[in-house]
Amino acid sequence: MILFRADFSPMTGLRHLRRCAHLVSLLKKSNRVQCCAREDKKTAKFLAERNIPARFIKDPGVIDLNGVRALIFDLPHFSSADSTLLEKAAKTGIKTVQIIPAAGNGHAVDIQVSGAEFTLLHHKFRHFNRIKRKYHQNIKNIFINLGDLFPYRDLRHIADILHRLHFKMKITPSLNLKKADRRNLMKIYPGIHFRGRSESPARSYFEADLALVPAAEEALEAACVGTPALYIPLGNSQEALAEQCVNLGLGVKIPSLADFSVQALHDAIAPLTREHREHMGAAGKRLVDGLGVQRFFKVLKDNEIIT
């Protein structure tokens, strides 16, 4: 059995579970796979809705590894219990793999998977990466994807600024956003739409002129489909990645929420001519081609972890 170790996180939400669920769904037809997560209502509901084989535990350090041939970690950080689990796997000869998140730290595992070429995205991102896209002369549509835990009050502040600048918005709703909150935003700010649960984020990125994202995995998603991004740092850990993306010519960094204003956003967007955005989009597509999952599976096959 191949065991994926992932959790709902108070910092990253379902990001890691979402990635593991996609990998498990691709592997479970020809391999025995299971997602191992801490007991949590959001986690259980998410995995059950997707029919993902799961094991729920209170203490990762005491997981029974009998019958497990590989342990794949996808965590924003390792707890002491996960470090204990890693040591246990190493002592029993179980192969260990770590999917290192953007701006994350590596641990003493057998195989580390990191870098833009190993960005593990849904296959639809690969399809949109190949499509030749048209960049409009003027920026009209902005796709907002700020993670599962972004609060309503801050989202309304951002929507107000973008509305004042006459942009249309499509938003990926956070887990905390209630239906009443959505209705309020659409009523107050005409031109707002929300991405549906079954709607591909790849298409939403592709259809937008700009993406407003944190400097995390979402930055690489936007790059894959050739959408220039506005990076809003949501924590100190994202500052370095935001600078890297800007230096690679993928987008621009904008002020944090505390300094987010009409003038600051206008000044950040003003230099983004169509030609400039075309160069940003091309740079993003070259960096992230959407084939990370295939490369990841090849690594697993080469190490005889999957068949």
Query: What letter does residue 137 receive in the DSSP assignment?
Result: S
Same domain, 110 and 199: no
Q: Which residues, 6 or more positions from 124, have their beta carbon under 8 angstroms from its beta carbon?
A: 200, 202, 203
Shared domain for 117 and 200, answered yes or no, is no
pLDDT of residue 254: 92
pLDDT tier at 104, thresholds 50, 70, 90: confident
The pLDDT, as a whole number, for residue 171 is 97
Question: Is residue 126 domain-resident?
Answer: no
Q: What's the pLDDT score for residue 90?
A: 92
Q: Is the pLDDT of residue 181 over 80?
A: yes
On whether both 200 and 241 belong to a single domain, the answer is yes
pLDDT number for residue 37: 95
**Rounded CA separation 153/193 (Å):** 17
pLDDT tens profile 182-220: 999 999 999 899 999 888 899 999 999 999 999 889 999
User: In this structure, is residue 307 part of a structural domain?
Assistant: no
Do 229 and 295 reside in the same domain of the chain? Answer: no
Max Cα-Cα span within the chain: 60
- Average of per-residue pLDDT across 251-269: 92
Token pair in block for residue 2: 């191949």
| 117 and 240 fall within a common domain | no
**Is residue 250 domain-shared with residue 211, that is, in the same domain?**
yes
**The predicted structure's pLDDT at residue 21:** 95
User: Does the pLDDT value for residue 66 go beyond 80?
Assistant: yes
Are 232 and 270 in the same domain? yes
Output the pLDDT for position 240.
Answer: 82
Which is nearest to 300 in space by CA: 116, 95, 32, 124? Answer: 95
Between 234 and 143, whose confidence is greater?
143
| Domain contains 70 | yes
Please check whether residue 227 lies inside any domain of the structure.
Answer: yes
Please tell me the predicted confidence (pLDDT) of residue 9. Answer: 86
Q: How far is it, in rounded angstroms, from Cα 274 to Cα 276? A: 5
143 and 37 co-located in one domain:
no
Q: Give yes or no: residues 88 and 201 share one domain.
A: no
In angstroms, the CA 128 to CA 147 distance is: 21
Is residue 54 included in any domain, yes or no? yes
What is the crossing angle of helices 152-164 and 179-188, to 10°? 20
Structural domain boundaries, residue 263: 131-287
The DSSP secondary-structure symbol of 55 reads E
- Interval 108-159: pLDDT, tens: 899 999 999 999 999 999 999 999 999 999 999 999 999 999 999 999 999 9
CB 221 within 8 A of CB 125: yes
Residue 21 lies in a domain: yes
pLDDT at residue 101 in the model: 82
Say yes or no: 92 and 234 in one domain: no
Look at residue 237 and tell me whether its pLDDT is greater than 80.
no
Q: In this structure, is the dihedral angle defined by the CA atoms of residues 16, 19, 25 and 28, taken in order, positive or negative? A: negative
Task: Give the pLDDT confidence score for residue 68 in this predicted structure.
Answer: 93
Query: What's 59's domain CATH number?
Result: 3.40.50.2000
Average pLDDT of the residues in 274-283: 97
What's the number of domains the chain is made of?
2
What residues are paired with 95 via a beta bridge?
70
Dump pLDDT digits (tens) for 69-81.
999 999 988 999 9
219 is a domain residue: yes
* Residue 241 domain flag: yes
Rg (CA), the chain: 20
Task: Verify that 239 and 199 share a domain, yes or no.
Answer: yes
Q: Are residues 111 and 158 in the same domain?
A: no
